[in-house]
Amino acid sequence: MEIEAIGVVGAGTMGNGIAQVFAQAGFAVRLVDVATPTLDRARRTIERSLARLVEKGRLAAADRDATLGRLRTTTELDDLSGVDYVVEAIVEELAAKRALFTSLDALLGSEAILASNTSSISITALGAATRRPDRVLGMHFMNPVPVMMLVELIRGQATSDASVGVARGLCAALGKTGVEAADYPGFIANRVLMPMLNEAFYAVMEGVGTPEAIDAVMKGGLHHPMGPLALADFIGLDVCLAILTVMQEGFGDPKYRPCPLLRRMVAAGHLGRKSGRGFYTYEP
Ligand code: 3HC
């Protein structure tokens, strides 16, 4: 299957990175979001990220311009009609994602493949919201998307080998490696990562250490590039809460229960970097 045009739905942290890497790899990208300010912010973020590569001599100015020329932003989902492959990166809520997949199924040609960047939600449930569950799969990028070389590929109950093959080919075109994970809550990355972050939240709540001390131990003592609390702020505390909730409900196992401090911080709107405040504070 020859893929030329890619749709990305949701222009937040992950969506703008996904749009950038596809446009850099030569695909015509249509980036959709309901909010114009989010689209404007996404374009600025992509421009900054590309400018950094030009400054470092890793991207020619002409390639930066060509990349930006391949990127179209829109608030109209209908503008995706005719694309071959869509990556959904909207809010981490099952009902919202299912509604979007049903709309995309009605809008797109029968050959088009629908991928979700979900961190933890069932790909099978998203496939079941369409008439093409064989052409629905998970394509879970890591943040920051332009830097992280790995993509988790998740097969729902009905996902075909052909769809996984197309996704693998796209990963290769992006210069990334696709690794398959089965469709269980949190897949591989968050199954292993979130319990560690949650434990770090409990450690703060119980006064085991300050955020600075906990992060210093994990960075200096275990060679993690970021401490768990800085990383949670980077991912978004609301996203961490949503993922842990999906894991707790999906497995019915109390070991995944989100830390009460995390719930309290999210209730306060302290969502991490994107809101300027989480375990740390950030310049706007
Ligand atoms: N866009 C483009 N390039 C970026 C970037 C961005 N947003 N952020 C950083 N970079 C580049 C920098 O330009 C730099 O490039 P260089 O080495 O060529 O100069 C390189 O990445 C390293 O950046 P910095 O020197 O600014 O800073 P660090 O060395 O601290 O690296 C980091 C930053 C890459 C974010 C590093 O701290 C890191 O790897 N952190 C862990 C990130 C992680 O674990 N991500 C996965 C999160 S889980 C997830 O996404 C799944 C979800 O479902 C929750």
Span 126-175, pLDDT tens digits: 999 999 999 999 999 999 999 999 999 999 999 999 999 999 999 999 99
Q: For the segment 103-121, what is each residue's pLDDT rounded down to a tens digit? A: 999 999 999 999 999 998 9
Q: For the segment 249-260, what is each residue's pLDDT rounded down to a tens digit? A: 999 999 999 999
Name beta bridge partners: 180. Answer: 153
Cα of 227 from ligand 1 centre, angstroms: 13
Q: For the segment 47-94, what is each residue's pLDDT rounded down to a tens digit? A: 999 999 999 999 999 999 999 999 999 999 999 999 999 999 999 999
Mutate to test the pocket of ligand 1, among 44, 147, 149 (most ligand atoms within 8 A of CB): 147
DSSP 8-state secondary structure symbol assigned to residue 133: G
Q: Is 190 a catalytic residue?
A: yes
Q: For the segment 224-264, what is each residue's pLDDT rounded down to a tens digit? A: 999 999 999 999 999 999 999 999 999 999 999 999 999 99
The reply to whether 166 and 209 lie within a common domain is no
Name beta bridge partners: 181. Answer: 154
Cα of 147 from ligand 1 centre, angstroms: 6
**274: in domain:** no
Residue span of the structural domain in which 204 resides: 190-267
Give residue 284's pLDDT band: very low, low, confident or very high (50, 70, 90).
confident
**How many angstroms separate the Cα of 81 from the Cα of each of 3, 17, 183?**
14, 22, 28
Choose one of 134, 158, 181: the last residue of a domain.
181
The answer to whether residue 1 scores a pLDDT higher than 90 is: no
Q: Is 152 a catalytic residue?
A: yes
The active-site residue, picked from 16, 49, 119, 122, is 119
The reply to whether 129 and 212 lie within a common domain is no
**44: in domain:** yes
Residue nearest to atom 15 of ligand 1 (CA): 147
**158: in domain:** yes
Average pLDDT over residues 204-223: 98
Q: Which residues contact 167 (CB under 8 A, 6 or more apart)?
A: 113, 115, 137, 139, 153, 178
pLDDT at residue 231 in the model: 98
Work out the percent of the chain whose per-residue pLDDT is above 70: 100
**How many other C-beta atoms can be found within 10 angstroms of the C-beta atom of residue 255?**
9
**220: in domain:** yes
Q: N- to C-terminal Cα distance for the chain? A: 43
The reply to whether 154 and 20 lie within a common domain is yes
The reply to whether 158 and 229 lie within a common domain is no
What's the predicted TM-score (pTM) here?
Answer: 0.94
Choose one of 122, 153, 181: the last residue of a domain.
181
Question: Quick check: CB of 242 below 6 Å from ligand 1?
Answer: no
- Ligand 1: atom nearest CA of 52 is 13
The reply to whether 31 and 67 lie within a common domain is yes
The active-site residue, picked from 92, 117, 152, 198, is 152
Average pLDDT, the chain: 97
DSSP string, 101-168: HHHHHHHS-TT-EEEE--SSS-HHHHHTTSS-GGGEEEEEE-SSTTT--EEEEEE-TT--HHHHHHHH
**200: in domain:** yes
| CATH number of the domain bearing residue 228 | 1.10.1040.50
Residue nearest to atom 33 of ligand 1 (CA): 225
The active-site residue, picked from 140, 198, 270, 275, is 140
Average pLDDT over residues 181-189: 96
In what helix (H) or strand (E) does residue 180 lie, and over which residues does it extend?
strand 177-182
The reply to whether 25 and 164 lie within a common domain is yes
What is the C-alpha separation between 142 and 91, in angstroms, rounded?
Answer: 16
The reply to whether 131 and 41 lie within a common domain is yes
- 31 and 17 Cβ atoms separated by less than 8 Å: no
The reply to whether 243 and 127 lie within a common domain is no
Question: Quick check: CB of 219 below 6 Å from ligand 1?
Answer: no
The answer to whether residue 194 scores a pLDDT higher than 80 is: yes
Report which of 111, 116, 110 is spatially closest to residue 86, judged by C-alpha positions: 116
Helix axes 61-69, 36-55, angle to 10 degrees: 160
| CATH number of the domain bearing residue 166 | 3.40.50.720
- Ligand 1: atom nearest CA of 193 is 48
The answer to whether residue 16 scores a pLDDT higher than 80 is: yes
In what helix (H) or strand (E) does residue 29 lie, and over which residues does it extend?
strand 28-32
**255: in domain:** yes
Helix, strand, coil percentages, rounded to 5, for the chain: 50, 15, 35
**281: in domain:** no
The reply to whether 11 and 125 lie within a common domain is yes
Report which of 260, 197, 191 is spatially closest to residue 226, judged by C-alpha positions: 197
Choose one of 181, 200, 215: the last residue of a domain.
181
- 124 and 158 Cβ atoms separated by less than 8 Å: yes
Question: Quick check: CB of 231 below 6 Å from ligand 1?
Answer: yes
**129: in domain:** yes
Cis peptide before 211 (omega within 30 of 0): no
Count of structural domains, the chain:
2
The answer to whether residue 196 scores a pLDDT higher than 80 is: yes
How many residues comprise the chain?
284
Cα of 16 from ligand 1 centre, angstroms: 15
The reply to whether 83 and 215 lie within a common domain is no
In what helix (H) or strand (E) does residue 266 lie, and over which residues does it extend?
helix 260-267
The active-site residue, picked from 117, 190, 198, 275, is 190
The reply to whether 248 and 143 lie within a common domain is no
Residue nearest to atom 45 of ligand 1 (CA): 143
pLDDT at residue 2 in the model: 86
Question: Quick check: CB of 188 below 6 Å from ligand 1?
Answer: no
The structure tokens listed for 130 are 């369409």
The reply to whether 176 and 239 lie within a common domain is no
